[in-house]
Amino acid sequence: MFSAAKIRRAPGRVAAGSLILHSGQVKLKGDPSFAQGVHAVFCGTYPAAKAIPPAVLLKTLAIIEITVGSLLLLPLVGARLSGLLLTGYSFTLLGMYAKTPGLHDERMLPTLAGTGFAKDVWLTAIGSSLVLDAATTRKGKTA
């Protein structure tokens, strides 16, 4: 039987998990041109990744996204762990948003090109909510 805590956490987990899982599946099928584009954007923010070939980076990112998305969708994985994974994942993407010119204006509001990355704010909020909810819900008390 599902507890009240699992039910109240489900909408955020399903929304975030579905989006991330789909993103990973798209990357897994990406062609060399797509891999080059992702590599350029990712390495613009995280220069240490320049040593990784574009195809390998794309496949690695795909596996990470499929894993994070799947764990969010599995109710057997606790809120604390899934929230920490989602928050860490979204902070990586927010770093790309913050450091990539043209994605935001001087007030950090998204430009048209940055709208897709701006969703990472709500991914961070969902992850943080999962962690906080798990930390403040006493075992045996799920209300």
Give me the half-sphere count of Cα atoms (radius 13 Å) on the Cβ side of residue 73. 14
Average pLDDT taken over every residue of the chain: 91
Residue 138's pLDDT band, with cuts at 50, 70 and 90, is confident
Residue 53's pLDDT band, with cuts at 50, 70 and 90, is very high
Write down the domain spans for the chain. Answer: 4-133
pLDDT reported for residue 6: 85
Residue 65 has pLDDT above 60, yes or no: yes
The 10s digit of each residue's pLDDT in 68-103 is 999 999 988 999 999 999 999 999 999 988 998 888
Threshold 0.75, pTM exceeds: yes
How many angstroms separate the Cα of 67 from the Cα of each of 25, 79, 101, 138? 11, 15, 29, 28
Residue 140 has pLDDT above 90, yes or no: no
Residue 1's pLDDT band, with cuts at 50, 70 and 90, is very low
pLDDT reported for residue 24: 97
Give me the half-sphere count of Cα atoms (radius 13 Å) on the Cβ side of residue 16. 29
How far, in whole angstroms, is CA 57 from its chain's centroid? 16
- Weakest-pLDDT range from 4-8, 42-46, 137-141: 137-141
